Structure 1
Amino acid sequence: MTLSSEFVPRPQRRWVYSPAASFTVTRTAETSVIIAVGDLDLTVTGDLAALLGQEVGLRPRALVLDASAVSFCAARGVTVLLDAVADAEVAGVPFAVVGRQQALLRPITVLGLEQVLPLHHSAADAVAWLALLPQLTDLNAC
């Protein structure tokens, strides 16, 4: 007995595309804050890299990426964050990342990047830390 393909049940596809992440930029006289929401996967990491590069190019007094609503971070997302840290340092722009959830914390701690890419609990904590950076740099110069 042979079965014809017309009698084989086919799975119903109910997949609906939705953007993996969205980004919002808020600028004040003191700080530019980029808020990322959703999944930082390969479909959006290029957009994030471009946005971070654009903000660094504007040379704000401080730049904060608030990733506290990020639910997934691909390896490329971590690379984008590391590139942003380097670009911001070269441009003289203090940069910090907010987000202590597993999506960010796990890859950063597994790779031992806590010193290069410290994660803060809130935007207020990040801004306070950035305000201390010049004082810490002065102490290290002595």
Structure 2
Amino acid sequence: MQHDHGLTVTYQPHSARIHVLVVSGDLDHHTSSRLLAALDDVTFAPGDALVVDLSALTFCDSTGVSILVTAHQRAREAGARAALAGLAPDIAHVFKIMGLDRLLSFHDTTADAIAALG
């Protein structure tokens, strides 16, 4: 079976206040518009939280990184909070090198992120 390294983004609302986006595959300049479109569909209210589950993310380039930063900023502007969950160690390492661990919050699992945001 051939894999085209596509990207799927699934919206899994956890509750009325907590929005979970599950991202799987390669997040790069070819596929990032899918995540952007999914983010556009999420309406944030003050006090809401967004968890982006990246446990099935296989690749992330600078375009993908910038969209995750955009997601964080968009949530913050709406008075909501955002967190990333399940980042693979090598991808998390890149984020830390870029200093994004000071901007974004990382959690091992979606459940951890929801607990932290709750």
- Amino acid aligned to 1:62: A
Moved over 3 A (4+): none
State whether structure 2 residue 116 is matched by structure 1 residue 129: yes
Question: What percentage of aligned pairs have identical amino acids?
Answer: 31
Query: For the pair shown, which has the larger CA radius of gyration, 1 or 2?
Result: 1
| Separation in 1, partners of 2:68, 2:97 | 15
Greater relative CO (CA pairs within 8 A, separation 6+): 2
> Where is the strand percentage greater, Structure 1 or Structure 2?
2
Alignment of 1:77-92 (within 5 A): 77-92=64-79
Using the size of structure 2 for normalisation, the TM-score is: 0.86
Question: Contact (CA 8 Å) 2:57, 2:87: kept in 1 or not?
Answer: no
Secondary structure of 1:43's aligned partner: coil
Where structure 2 has 5 or more consecutive residues not aligned to the other structure, the ranges are none
How many correspondences in the alignment?
A: 115
Using the size of structure 1 for normalisation, the TM-score is: 0.73
- Amino acid aligned to 1:128: A
| Separation in 2, partners of 1:99, 1:17 | 22
State whether structure 2 residue 84 is matched by structure 1 residue 101: no
| Separation in 1, partners of 2:8, 2:90 | 16
